[in-house]
């Protein structure tokens, strides 16, 4: 199985498992076994899972850097919404400058290692 086919298979499996998990949670909520509202503050962590999925077995350097951004936004939202380390929407904007720099520094390394274009044709 080539890299692109493996990537798409893993992506489909991930989304299938996410849907199964959501369905089970909603079913348990409807049966009064579990209160789903207690899980909503973990919702940004779904972005982390999606981002990690983009970075593992990625078809291009662009997918890798997009995955890093998705992981960062998920972690940032979780930290801000939970009030971790005193972060708020107003005082944490410099983190976006930092992650932009990290992404700019990593993309050429990833392009050299894995090629500029992946199977999705989005590479620069």
What does each of the 124 residues of the chain score in pLDDT, given as a tens digit?
566 677 677 777 877 887 898 888 888 888 888 787 777 778 888 888 888 877 776 567 777 778 888 888 888 888 888 888 888 888 888 888 888 888 888 878 877 776 655 444 444 4
SS3 91: coil
Please tell me whether the overall predicted TM-score, pTM, comes out greater than 0.85 for this model: no
Q: At what angle do helices 3-30 and 44-55 cross, to 10 degrees?
A: 160
Task: Give the span between the Cα atoms of 92 and 77, in whole angstroms.
Answer: 10
Token output for 90: 């107003």
Task: Give the span between the Cα atoms of 96 and 48, in whole angstroms.
Answer: 16
């Amino acid at each position: 199985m080539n890299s692109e086919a493996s990537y798409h298979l893993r992506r489909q499996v991930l989304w299938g498992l996410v849907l199964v998990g959501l369905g089970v949670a909603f079913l348990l909520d409807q049966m009064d076994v579990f209160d789903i509202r207690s899980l909503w503050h973990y919702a940004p962590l779904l972005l982390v899972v999606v981002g990690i999925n983009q970075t593992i077995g990625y078809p291009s350097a662009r997918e890798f850097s997009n995955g890093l951004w998705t992981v960062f936004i998920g972690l940032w939202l979780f930290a801000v919404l939970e009030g971790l380390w005193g972060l708020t929407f107003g005082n944490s904007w410099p983190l976006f400058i930092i992650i932009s720099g990290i992404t700019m520094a990593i993309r050429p390394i990833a392009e050299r290692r894995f090629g500029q274009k992946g199977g999705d044709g989005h590479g620069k």
